[in-house]
Every structure is written in C-alpha cells, then in structure tokens.
C-alpha cells in the first residue's frame, strides 16, 4: 500500500535542526516527483531516530538498509 503523501511530508519535520534543514530542501526539490516505491522507502526511513538518521545523511554512519540508500543520496544532494 502506498503511504499517504501528506502524512509522509508531515513526518519529514524533524526535531534536529540539521535534519529539518535537509528535509526542507529535499521537500522543495524532490518530494513531488517521488514514485510510490520511493515514497514507501522514505516512509520506512523516517522511522529512524533523528541522531541515527543524521549520521547516515552526513556519512558518519553507513546506511543500514539498502532500500534507504537512494533516499539518503537524495537527502545529501539537497
């Protein structure tokens, strides 16, 4: 089942300022063009705790799920 885009967009709001800034740029550039599969991967990725997610985005920790790599790359691209 495809996740609800509005709910996923809302979950992109993060408590960690650095992530919030990254997601703001990501939403502006990439969110509307995500496929249903990409949206499902993003929805899954958003379950990760902020500090762990930030570590994956900034490259200090490896991406722990192969399905998330594309989303993390898009987040890094801004």
Tens of pLDDT, residue by residue over 2-38, are: 899 999 999 999 999 999 999 999 999 999 999 999 9
Residue 56: exposure state from Cβ atoms within 10 A (0-12, 13-18, ≥19):
buried
**Helices 17-29 and 50-58, packing angle to 10 deg:** 60
Residue 60's nearest CA partner among 72, 71, 46 is 72
Residue spans of the domains in the chain: they are: 5-77
Tens of pLDDT, residue by residue over 61-75, are: 999 999 999 999 999
Residues 5-77, CATH architecture: Orthogonal Bundle (1.10)
The token pair at 64 is 């722990």
* SS3 (DSSP) at 77: helix
């Amino acid at each position: 089942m495809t996740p609800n885009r509005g709910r996923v967009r809302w979950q992109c709001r993060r408590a960690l300022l650095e992530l919030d800034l990254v997601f703001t740029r990501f939403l502006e550039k990439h969110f509307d063009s995500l496929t249903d599969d990409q949206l499902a991967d993003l929805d899954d990725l958003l379950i990760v705790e902020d500090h762990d997610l930030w570590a994956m985005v900034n490259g200090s920790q490896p991406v722990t799920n192969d399905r998330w790599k594309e989303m993390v790359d898009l987040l890094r691209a801004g």
